[in-house]
Chain A
């Protein structure tokens, strides 16, 4: 195996390598941040969908067990504000 020190790199190759590394690092950082944010959103979306289903099911149940709106609108004699 050839030792790295004996390999001849052209002049300015360090700058070229650094420029391409900067590009890939920038891309990687951006993609990492976006992936993190999207994963968080996906989790939140799942939670919200579940909560919403539960809330809708609960409100449907409440609506079924509640008295008819016309009857509920008429206050009982002892509830009339004086």
Chain B
């Protein structure tokens, strides 16, 4: 059931992320302003970037679904958003710990970066209930794709709006994403952690896709068996999940 590609990806993720965290612990210097607590940066920021990238990827897949009506794109959009919401939980929790260590508070409501991420996260938390509330599978996929596209477009807009806002409390470690403000011995573990986190996202994404496709295969076999046994009408099988079904 599991491909060799998934195994190789898992291994690459483990090596990259493990290496990045080791470099962050032993190679990267302690930041002069924030001290040791700045080490949270190497897990928090890559996770946030990958989560936001995953939301945008979900939007792109939603757009592809609306253009082609291929359920494969709907499934990809669903899985990308699902994974990004999980990473989003990690971002909020690690961010809270960093805020507590650096500023003495768990959350700063006046800080645009934190509030905007929370808004994006809460917005995507409504994706699953939206899918669950629609019974018709075709409508469900279409509405979910529209949501994914709209919210996916909102993510970069939101990011840019926050970047333009003043004044900043939240550190701008990447100097407006050019990477100029970060010394080389911090850049190496950071970019390695970013690559590792992206690989982790891809690995988990593929794992979740394998799960969904296997479930689709199981449902397909159940239908085939029921047809053979003639026990139940095909239409009477209740939908147990709002996840898109790609039948094998």
Binding site for B on A (CB under 8 A): 10-13, 15-16, 18-20, 22-23, 26-27, 30, 34, 37-38, 41-42, 44-45, 48-49, 51-52, 55-56, 59
Given A38-B214, A48-B218, also A15-B229 (CB < 8 A): no
Q: Are B228 and A52 in contact (CB under 8 A)?
A: yes
Majority-rule SS of A interface residues: helix
Does B131 reach chain A (CB closer than 8 Å)? Answer: no
In the bound complex, residues from chain B placing their C-beta under 8 Å from that of A11 are: 35-37
Majority-rule SS of B interface residues: helix
Interface centre among B30, B37, B204, B224 (most CB of A within 10 A): B37
A75 to B207, CA, bound (A): 56
Question: What are 23 sample pairs from A and B whose C-beta atoms fall under 8 A apart?
Answer: A10-B35, A11-B37, A12-B34, A12-B37, A12-B101, A15-B40, A16-B36, A16-B101, A19-B93, A22-B97, A23-B43, A23-B47, A26-B90, A26-B93, A30-B204, A34-B208, A41-B218, A42-B1, A42-B214, A48-B221, A52-B224, A52-B228, A59-B228
Q: Are B98 and A15 in contact (CB under 8 A)?
A: yes
In the bound complex, residues from chain B placing their C-beta under 8 Å from that of A15 are: 37, 40, 97-98, 100-101
Binding site for A on B (CB under 8 A): 1, 21, 30, 34-37, 39-40, 43-44, 47, 86, 89-90, 93-94, 97-98, 100-101, 200, 204, 207-208, 210-211, 214-215, 217-218, 221-222, 224-225, 228-229
